[in-house]
C-alpha cells in the first residue's frame, strides 16, 4: 500500500496541504547524514512535503532502518519512489538506478567535494581515459549515454574543469553552490569553548581528533595502533582523544565489533561518538589537533585551520589533482619512531601560517558561507516557488549531547608519572596511562609507577612505586594498614589512602605520615599521592599537571 500522503485520497488524511513533493535519495548512512544537511533549506516551509527512499545499491545498508526510524523520516520504498512523480529529487550519492526516478534530480557530493576514485558498475565506453573522481565522471553521471542528473552541484569552481574532463556534456548542468557542512563548521568556530565543555574537556585540556574513513588504507584499517599510541604518549591530564570513525566502518563490521576492538582504549578514556550524529563536527570546531587519513574529515579539519598529521593515506583511491591529493602531499606523516606530542607541537608551529595549507583549505568551497542561500535558490527555482522571507544563513552545529559514559572497573588505572624540574615551590607532573604503553617510551623520562593495591593485573601493584590502598574497614589504624601493604610489596616507596574525594593520607616506608589537601582544583587522590612521592616536604605546593592549565594548589602536612 502506498504512503498515506501518496494515495489518491491523500487530501482526506493530510493535515497540511503542500504544493510540492520532494524526494530525498539515501544510499547509505554516510550519504543520509549529508542529505539531511542538503534538506535544511526546506525547513519551516509547509508548502513542501519531503519523502525519503533508499536505492538499495550500497554494500553498507546496515544502519539505514535505524537511522530513518530515529529521525522519523517520512519513508517510502524504492519501488514506490520509482512509481510516483516528484517535483524534485535530491541525492548525495551517484549509486543506484537513479535514472529510473520520475523527477528532476539534483546530485550533490556527500563529502568535502569530489576526491576519491571508486570503481563503478555502469561500465560506459571510456576507452583508455583515466576516470575522474567519483561523481565527476561519465561512468556515474550517464546511463546509455544520457545524463542522469538535471543539476550537478559543485562546491568549488575548480571542480568544473575536472567535470569537463570526466563528462563534458554535464558541464552546462553544473551549479557551484558551496559546501553547507564547511559553512556550518566555520559558523561554529566562535563557540569553540562551548563545544569543548559539552565534550567534557576541562579548562586547559587539549583535544586530539583521530579521523578515520573506511577501507584498508584508512587510519583504522592501516594503523589502528595509532589509537593506542595517542592514549599512551600524550599526557593524561593534558589531552583528551576522540575518534571520529566513518559510518561504513561501523555498519560494515558492526558497532559492537568496533567498540570491542577499541574496548581497552575506551577504558583508557577514548571518546567515541556514534557515527550517525554530527558530534564529529563539534569535535572539529573544538579540536587543537588532528591525526587523519584521506577522508573528508581530514580536509575539513585542515580547512578549519586545525594543525594535523596523516596517520594513513590511500594514494590508491585518491583522485589525482584533487584537493585531497594536494593535502596528502602537504601534511607530514606520523613517525613511528618519535612520540606524538613533539610531532603535534611541530605541526602546530609549522602550520600556523602555512600558505599552501590555507590554499588547499580554500578549495573546499569557493562560495564560503553562501551554500544555504545558493541551494535554496536552486531548489525553489526548480520547484517554481517563491523563496521564504527569512534569510538562508549557515547555523552553528548543535551542541552535542553528553557522550555515553563508559563502564569501567572500580580499580583506578595505573599510571606512569614523570616529575620534571619547575620553579621553586612548584612540581611539574605528567601522567601517562600504563595499560596502553608500548615499545616506544621516549615520552617517559624518569617515571614512577602509581597503581592500586587491588589491581588484578599483577604487573602494576607488583612493581609500583606508589600504591593506592583501600581504607581498612575493620578499624585498623591507617599506619598499621600501610605497614601491612609495605610488607607485601617490598618495592613500594609510598602508600596512600583517599581521604574525602581528591585528598589523601600517605605513609613513607620509614613511617612518616603526610596529609595532602587540594585547594579548589579538580584533581585526584592519585595525583596528590604522586606529588607527595615527588616532593614530600610540608608546606604549600604548586602542582603543574598540564601545559596551558593553571597549577593546582596542594597543602602538605607532615605528622
Please tell me which of 141-145, 199-203, 331-335 the model is most confident about, judged by mean pLDDT: 331-335
pLDDT at position 407: 67
Q: How far is CA 396 from the centre of its chain?
A: 17
Transcribe 362-402 into DSSP letters: TTS-SSTT-HHHHHHHHHHHHHT-PPPSS-----PPPPPPP
Q: Bigger pLDDT: 117 or 185?
A: 185
CB neighbours of residue 254 within 10 Å: 13
Euclidean distance between CA atoms 27 and 56, whole angstroms: 7
| Domain 4-181+368-383 fold | Rossmann fold (3.40.50)
Strand, helix or coil for residue 271: strand
Euclidean distance between CA atoms 450 and 414, whole angstroms: 6
Q: Bigger pLDDT: 53 or 6?
A: 53
pLDDT at position 128: 47
pLDDT at position 126: 47
Strand, helix or coil for residue 46: coil
Grid cell 576541562 — which residue? 202
Show the cell assigned to 478: 591507617
Q: If pLDDT is split at 50, 70 and 90, which confidence band does 121 have?
A: very low
Show the cell assigned to 380: 525553489
Q: Is the pLDDT of residue 243 over 60?
A: yes
pLDDT at position 123: 45
pTM equals 0.93
pLDDT at position 464: 96
Query: What average pLDDT does range 254-282 have in this prediction?
Result: 94
Euclidean distance between CA atoms 506 and 496, whole angstroms: 4
Q: Is the pLDDT of residue 4 over 90?
A: no
DSSP character for 157?
A: T
Q: Do domains 4-181+368-383 and 187-361 have the same CATH topology?
A: yes
Query: What CATH number belongs to 187-361?
Result: 3.40.50.12580
Under a CB-based contact definition with an 8 Å cutoff, are residues 534 and 527 in contact?
no
300-304: Cβ within 8 A, 24+ apart: 300/112, 300/181, 300/182, 300/185, 300/364, 301/209, 301/211, 302/327, 302/331, 302/357, 302/360, 302/361, 303/112, 303/182, 303/185, 303/360, 303/361, 303/362, 303/364, 304/185, 304/186, 304/189, 304/361
pLDDT at position 548: 76
Euclidean distance between CA atoms 352 and 452, whole angstroms: 42
Q: Is the pLDDT of residue 229 over 60?
A: yes
Under a CB-based contact definition with an 8 Å cutoff, are residues 149 and 105 in contact?
yes
* Average model confidence (pLDDT) across the chain: 91
Angle at 384 between CA 380 and CA 389, to 5 degrees: 50
Strand, helix or coil for residue 223: helix
Q: Is the pLDDT of residue 111 over 60?
A: yes
Query: What average pLDDT does range 281-307 have in this prediction?
Result: 97
507-549 pLDDT per residue, tens: 999 999 999 999 876 688 899 999 999 888 878 888 888 887 8
pLDDT at position 129: 52
Grid cell 600517605 — which residue? 506
Under a CB-based contact definition with an 8 Å cutoff, are residues 480 and 507 in contact?
no
Q: Bigger pLDDT: 466 or 9?
A: 466
Domain ranges of the chain: 4-181+368-383, 187-361, 415-558
pLDDT at position 3: 87
Q: If pLDDT is split at 50, 70 and 90, which confidence band does 174 have?
A: very high
295-330 pLDDT per residue, tens: 999 999 999 999 999 999 999 999 999 999 999 999
Query: What average pLDDT does range 26-37 have in this prediction?
Result: 92
Show the cell assigned to 28: 547509505
Euclidean distance between CA atoms 496 and 525, whole angstroms: 8
Q: Is the pLDDT of residue 169 over 90?
A: yes
Amino acid at each position: 500500500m502506498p504512503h498515506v500522503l501518496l494515495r489518491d485520497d491523500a487530501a482526506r488524511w493530510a493535515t497540511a496541504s503542500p504544493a510540492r513533493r520532494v524526494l530525498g535519495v539515501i544510499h547509505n548512512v554516510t550519504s543520509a547524514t549529508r542529505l539531511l544537511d542538503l534538506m535544511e533549506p526546506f525547513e519551516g516551509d509547509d508548502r513542501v512535503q519531503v519523502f525519503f527512499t533508499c536505492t538499495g545499491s550500497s554494500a553498507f545498508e546496515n544502519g539505514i532502518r535505524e537511522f530513518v526510524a530515529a529521525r522519523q523520516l517520512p519513508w517510502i520504498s524504492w519501488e514506490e519512489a520509482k512509481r510516483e512523480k516528484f517535483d524534485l529529487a535530491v541525492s548525495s550519492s551517484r549509486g543506484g538506478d537513479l535514472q529510473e526516478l520520475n523527477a528532476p534530480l539534483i546530485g550533490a557530493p556527500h563529502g568535502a567535494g569530489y576526491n576519491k576514485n571508486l570503481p563503478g558498475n555502469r561500465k560506459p565506453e571510456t576507452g583508455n581515459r583515466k576516470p575522474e573522481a567519483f561523481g565527476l565522471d561519465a561512468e556515474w553521471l550517464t546511463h546509455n549515454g544520457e545524463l542522469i542528473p538535471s543539476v550537478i552541484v559543485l562546491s568549488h569552481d575548480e571542480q568544473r574543469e575536472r567535470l569537463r574532463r570526466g563528462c563534458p556534456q554535464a558541464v552546462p548542468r553544473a551549479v557551484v553552490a558551496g559546501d553547507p557542512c564547511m559553512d556550518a563548521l566555520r559558523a561554529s568556530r566562535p563557540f569553540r569553548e562551548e563545544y569543548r565543555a559539552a565534550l567534557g574537556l576541562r579548562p586547559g585540556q587539549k583535544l586530539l581528533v583521530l579521523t578515520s574513513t573506511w577501507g584498508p588504507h584508512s587510519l583504522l584499517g592501516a594503523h589502528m595502533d595509532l589509537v593506542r599510541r595517542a592514549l599512551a604518549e600524550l599526557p593524561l591530564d593534558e589531552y583528551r582523544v576522540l575518534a571520529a570513525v566513518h559510518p561504513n566502518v561501523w555498519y560494515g563490521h558492526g558497532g559492537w565489533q568496533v567498540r570491542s576492538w577499541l574496548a581497552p582504549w575506551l577504558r583508557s578514556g577514548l571518546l567515541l561518538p556514534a557515527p550517525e550524529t554530527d558530534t564529529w563536527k563539534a569535535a572539529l570546531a573544538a579540536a587543537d589537533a588532528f591525526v587523519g587519513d584521506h577522508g573528508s574529515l581530514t580536509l575539513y579539519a585542515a580547512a578549519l585551520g586545525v594543525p594535523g598529521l596523516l596517520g594513513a593515506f590511500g594514494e590508491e583511491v585518491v583522485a589525482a589533482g584533487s584537493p585531497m591529493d594536494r593535502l596528502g602531499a602537504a601534511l607530514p606523516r606520523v613517525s613511528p619512531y618519535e612520540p606524538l606530542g613533539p610531532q603535534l607541537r611541530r605541526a602546530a608551529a609549522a602550520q600556523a601560517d602555512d600558505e599552501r595549507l590555507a590554499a588547499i583549505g580554500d578549495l573546499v568551497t569557493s562560495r564560503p558561507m553562501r551554500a544555504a542561500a545558493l541551494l535554496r535558490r536552486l531548489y525553489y527555482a526548480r520547484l517554481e516557488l517563491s523563496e521564504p522571507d527569512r534569510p538562508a544563513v549557515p547555523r552553528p552545529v548543535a551542541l552535542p549531547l553528553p557522550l555515553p559514559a563508559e563502564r569501567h572497573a572500580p580499580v583506578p588505572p595505573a599510571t606512569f608519572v614523570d616529575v620534571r624540574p619547575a620553579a621553586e615551590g612548584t612540581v611539574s607532573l605528567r601522567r601517562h596511562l600504563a595499560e596502553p604503553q608500548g615499545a616506544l617510551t621516549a615520552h617517559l623520562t624518569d617515571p614512577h609507577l602509581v597503581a592500586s593495591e587491588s589491581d588484578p593485573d599483577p604487573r602494576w601493584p607488583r612493581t609500583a612505586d606508589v600504591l593506592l590502598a583501600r581504607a581498612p574497614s575493620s578499624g585498623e589504624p591507617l599506619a598499621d594498614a600501610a605497614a601491612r601493604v609495605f610488607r607485601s610489596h617490598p618495592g613500594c616507596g609510598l602508600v596512600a589512602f583517599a581521604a574525602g574525594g581528591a585528598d589523601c593520607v600517605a605513609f613513607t616506608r620509614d613511617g612518616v605520615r603526610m596529609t595532602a589537601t587540594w585547594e579548589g582544583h579538580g584533581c585526584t587522590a592519585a595525583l596528590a599521592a604522586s606529588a607527595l612521592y615527588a616532593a614530600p616536604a610540608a608546606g604549600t605546593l604548586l602542582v603543574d599537571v598540564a601545559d596551558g592549565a593553571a597549577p593546582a594548589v596542594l597543602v602538605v602536612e607532615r605528622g
